[in-house]
Amino acid sequence: MAMFQSNATKSEKVNQSQGILNIIGQGTRITGDLVSNGDFRVDGAIEGNVKVGQRLVIGGTGKILGNIEADSATVAGHIKGNLTVKNVLELKPSAKIDGDIITNKMVIEAGAQFNGRCTMNVAVSVPAAGQTPAK
C-alpha cells in the first residue's frame, strides 16, 4: 500500500504547482527566458522570452523585452516584443506595446498604446511550458 500513497502524493503536488501564482516584484530584474505552467505577475523587468501556461499579468511598473506566449494576458506595463495569446489579451490604459500581436480576443482600454500588427480570431497554438513548438 505504501506504493499507492506515494503515487497519490506526487499527483497532488503536480496539481498544486499549476495553481501557484509567481511574482516578479518591482525593482527585480531578470535576464534570461522565463517558463511557467501557472499564473505569473510581472512588476519588475525581464530581458528574455516569457512563456506562461495560464494567465500573465504585467503590472504598471512591469517591463518585458522579449517575445511572450500565454493562455491569457493583462498588460498595464511596457512590452517590446511580439505577443501570442491563446484566449483574451487585455490592454490597460497605461499599457505600451511595441511589437506584433496574435490573439483570439482583445480588449483595449482608452490610453493604451500599441505599435505593430495584430492578427485576431485565429486558432492560436501555445505549447505547454517546457515544450518546443512544432516546426
The ranges assigned to domains in the chain are 22-120
Distance in angstroms (rounded) separating the CA atoms of residues 74 and 91: 6
Distance in angstroms (rounded) separating the CA atoms of residues 7 and 29: 38
Is the pLDDT assigned to residue 20 strictly greater than 90? no
pLDDT band at 112 (very low <50, low <70, confident <90, very high): very high
User: pLDDT tens digits, residue range 30-50?
Assistant: 999 999 998 999 999 999 999
Indicate the burial class of 112 (C-beta count within 10 angstroms; 0-12, 13-18, 19 or more). Answer: middle
Write down the residue that cell numbers 498595464 correspond to. Answer: 76
Write down the residue that cell numbers 485576431 correspond to. Answer: 120
Distance in angstroms (rounded) separating the CA atoms of residues 102 and 40: 19
Q: Are 101 and 81 in contact (CB under 8 A)?
A: no
Nearest CA to 84 among 98, 95, 100? 100
pTM: 0.76
